[in-house]
Amino acid sequence: MTFISLYRKWRSQIFDEIIGQEHIIRTLKNAISAGRIGHAYLFSGPRGTGKTSTARIFAKALNCVNGPTPNPCGKCDACEKIKNGDAIDVIEIDAASNRGIDEIRDLREKIRFAPVEGRFKVYIIDEVHMLTQEAFNALLKTLEEPPSHVIFVLATTESQKVPVTVASRCQRLDFRRISVIQIEEQLRSICKSEKITIDDQSIVIVARNAEGSMRDAISLLDQLASFCGNKISISDVLLVLGTAHGSMLFDFSASIRKGDVSTVIGLVDKIVLEGKNIPQVAKDLAGFFRNLLVCKVGSEKIIELPKKEIAELKKESEYYTLERIKEIISVLVKSESDMRWFGDARLAFEVAFLNIINIGSENKKIVEDVAISDASGDLMNNLKNSWGDILKKVKTKNVFAYVSLSEGMPDLIGDNKLAIKFKKGFSFHKDRLEERNNKSAVEEAIKEILGRNVTVVGTTDYSDSPDVETDPIENIAKIFNGKKVS
């Protein structure tokens, strides 16, 4: 018997088997039941989320012997032929390969003929955004006034490339990325049916690597089954996917925090010796720090990971400032780009870590040199010693105030006035901190921690206090390298 890939074997055959697109399935089923079937639909969304499968099921629903029906039988001649790709009246066109005006003209010639076997001729044009401008122009008139027996389903992963004139003549349905949890559930169901033994940790890694695509997830599972047989271990998953284990990501983070270049280089050497894919590890690490950033701003509920892992990420995020995490992510994202054109991915990765650690060293020096030490009195000492507690207290009161406050540095001006200084270019955080609700949250937190009433102000210039008034003419002269003439 000919081998059938898991993705083809487990492809959805009825509306209720489509996962993660409940809003679209409900719309189509209601339209069929009410007899409000549109003449053209635009299915837009990421790859592997069910666009083409939904289009085929829609064609079944229209041409089923019991149809039009929201629940095609799947057993009649029409349903069987559509399932097997043998239906004369369901025409699938790959716009990536048939993108020219001649193909669309041929379609226009044939479209006027009535269906041979069913009620409707259904044209499914996949990756429709690949059509040339001339082809779109040729398609436009047909989309505007198609014969009553014709239904168009245009599928695309890049809806922004579809001309507005075309999109406006279609009912647009946007497919969503499928959640990690939904992908995990489907993979477990497939493994149970196919008698594949796999642990939960491996399923989670496969689901994450699919990035919202059910097709990619099932294809990865198929690849693992081909490599391992029917017993898949975590080591097999890491080897095949070339990805990094969670503990290794924490090891990288610990080395970055300590500025330990030697350990970082050793970790890079380890992933090379283990045969891991360096660009994939860079991507994993960027995702790891993205999760730290999400935990840092208190939005960890959006991370699709087990609670235990989220707790570990939250604890790790406490070692970093928000700005430091953003710096690390920027360097890692750039390293991914560098690897695409630079021949030595390992070298690009090692240079990225050296940059990350050097940036951290420079930032530490800047903090040490900031004029906090210029302030006098017990209040400033208490502020310095309690700054971490103040940040935590602000976070419980107002997360927006917390995010902005964590980007600034405190400096006492006078007895009870606290200036939060921001780097130049960070005026957004200064302005948001000075909003009444945010400012009050900070002042209340300081009072609760230190027992003192303090007025908070913001400034974006480390060299000037907010109380200093300057001559605007002298400022203009300074900008243009001139001098004031009395």
Q: Which of 146, 213, 206, 142 is nearest to 176 (CA)?
A: 213
CA–CA separation, 251 and 254 (whole Å): 5
Same domain (yes/no): 158, 236: no
pLDDT over 60 (residue 36)? yes
Exposure b/e, 224-248, CB count within 10 A at least 16 = b = bbeebeeebeeebbbbbbbbbbbeb
pLDDT digits (tens, 9 = 90+) for 14-33: 999 999 999 999 999 999 99
Q: Is 226 helix (H, G, I), strand (E, B) or coil?
A: helix
Q: Is residue 40 part of a domain?
A: yes
pLDDT digits (tens, 9 = 90+) for 248-276: 899 999 999 888 888 989 998 988 888 78
Same domain (yes/no): 165, 184: no
Q: How many domains does the chain have?
A: 4
* Of the residues 152, 174, 196, the one at which a domain ends: 174
475 falls in which pLDDT band (50, 70, 90)?
very low
* Of the residues 328, 352, 367, the one at which a domain ends: 367
Q: CATH number, domain at 383?
A: 3.30.300.180
Average pLDDT over residues 193-206: 89
Range of the domain at 189: 180-241
Same domain (yes/no): 314, 391: no
Query: What are phi and psi for residue 207, nearest 5 degrees?
Result: -65, -40
pLDDT over 50 (residue 470)? no
Same domain (yes/no): 85, 222: no
Q: Are strands 409-413 and 417-421 parallel, antiparallel or unpaired?
A: antiparallel
- Find the DSSP H helices in 35-69: 51-63
Same domain (yes/no): 224, 329: no
Question: Residue 109 corresponds to which tokens in the numbers above?
Answer: 């010639």
pLDDT digits (tens, 9 = 90+) for 294-338: 998 888 888 877 788 888 999 998 888 888 899 899 999 888 878
Same domain (yes/no): 351, 383: no
CA–CA separation, 420 and 371 (whole Å): 12
Q: Is 166 helix (H, G, I), strand (E, B) or coil?
A: helix
CA–CA separation, 360 and 337 (whole Å): 22
Is the CB of residue 278 less than 8 Å from the CB of residue 244? no
Q: Residue written as tokens 């090692």?
A: 350
pLDDT over 70 (residue 365)? no
Q: CATH number, domain at 120?
A: 3.40.50.300
Is the CB of residue 56 less than 8 Å from the CB of residue 90? yes
Question: Residue 72 corresponds to which tokens in the numbers above?
Answer: 């095609």
pTM of the model: 0.65
pLDDT over 50 (residue 209)? yes
pLDDT over 80 (residue 3)? no
Question: Residue 468 corresponds to which tokens in the numbers above?
Answer: 């200093």
Q: Is residue 465 part of a domain?
A: no
483 falls in which pLDDT band (50, 70, 90)?
low
Same domain (yes/no): 164, 278: no
Q: CATH number, domain at 355?
A: 1.20.272.10
**Among 58-67, 353-362, 434-443, the least confident range:** 353-362
pLDDT digits (tens, 9 = 90+) for 78-97: 999 999 888 999 999 988 88
Helix/strand/coil (H, E, C) string of 319-331?
A: CCCHHHHHHHHHH
Same domain (yes/no): 23, 120: yes
